[in-house]
Structure 1
Amino acid sequence: MAKIGFIGALCIGLITASSPATAQNVVADVDQIAAILESEGYQAKLIGEKDDRYIKTGMSGYNFLILPFDCDDAGENCKSVQFYIAFATETEPTLEAMNTYASRNRFGRIYLDDDRDPVIEMDIDLEAGGMPKELFMDNLAYWEAIMVAFAEFSLENDRK
């Protein structure tokens, strides 16, 4: 039996310690994501047919969608998900206000949809093996913060 030496044994120990067999990354599978959300205490309603399904969930008093993207023809093997919410406002923000908001906020893509409702989206790349659950939940917490901030911006004219 060959000797691997201290450095080799250390490297093997690090590889083994950093890749537990029981850890499963989050991928762009709506069933898996819905189960994770429910295990973390969120409601997660699956909507649609097998090849066109998405999740309706909510936090901080706002309902939003989690939409799978870049899927195969059967609606499987998706590569990313998008967090999405539109706000129906009585007085929509101006394009100038939207541009100012966008220039001051790094995360979240914003626009006015066809009904001139303010929308914010955030994409999560889950291709190439996905990401650990902890990182997915961290992204979800970040989404919550930017969603709430954008809701306050979008609805501020309705409160005046």
Structure 2
Amino acid sequence: MVCAAPASAQNVSATRPDSIAAVLKARGLPSELKQGDGNPYIRSAYDDMPFLIALMNCDDAKANCATVQFYFGFNDRKGFSLDKLNEWNAKKRFVRAYRDDDNDPVLVMDVDTDKGGIPQAVFNENLSVWLDQMQQYRRFVTE
């Protein structure tokens, strides 16, 4: 008798960056796990747009992370209008835009993968939303 693997085995979790990398690779996107001074992150890109997936809410050992934050920013649009960013945020639901500490416009989206992770299909849908919003944000900031 063959038993099916438990559903949680197919879940995507910030605690298991390899599960995130697998979804990215299945979509044909690059995936490179990095460990900086802070929390670990995954470097990727889509449509000539580099982005990061920061592993957040980690324990003191920078492991066992609970959430991810998708991050995309510009470094050549310093001082982008706050009124325009407010316009963006008023119309968008799942992502938010702001100016970072260097006065650059950035876009972020948070996904909670705590308590055992989320199904691959759900993470994949979040990734689709992110990729679409990133393209829209690039057009918005560069027009």
TM-score (norm 1): 0.77
Counting only pairs closer than 5 Å after superposition, residues 1-160 of structure 1 correspond to structure 2 as 20-23=4-7, 24-28=10-14, 29-48=16-35, 52-90=39-77, 92-156=79-143
TM-score (norm 2): 0.86
Q: CA deviation at 1:22?
A: 4.8
Q: Is the 8 A contact 1:89 1:155 kept in 2?
A: no
Q: Is the 8 A contact 1:55 1:66 kept in 2?
A: yes
When residues 152 and 115 of structure 1 are mapped into structure 2, their CA distance, relative to the original with a 3 A threshold, is: same
Structure 1 gap segments, 5+ residues each: 1-19
Find the aligned partners of 1:66 and 1:98 in 2 and give their Cα distance: 22
Find the aligned partners of 1:52 and 1:112 in 2 and give their Cα distance: 21
Give aligned-pair identity as a percent.
Answer: 39
Higher helix proportion = 1
1:12-33 CA-to-partner distances (Å, cap 9, x unmatched) read: xxxxxxxx52542111122321
Find the aligned partners of 1:50 and 1:93 in 2 and give their Cα distance: 28
Structure 2 gap segments, 5+ residues each: none
Q: Is the 8 A contact 1:89 1:154 kept in 2?
A: no
Find the aligned partners of 1:49 and 1:99 in 2 and give their Cα distance: 31
Find the aligned partners of 1:111 and 1:90 in 2 and give their Cα distance: 12
1:13-64 CA-to-partner distances (Å, cap 9, x unmatched) read: xxxxxxx525421111223212332233211011126974211001122110
Give the paired residue count. Answer: 137
Structure 1 or 2, whichever has the larger Rg, is 1
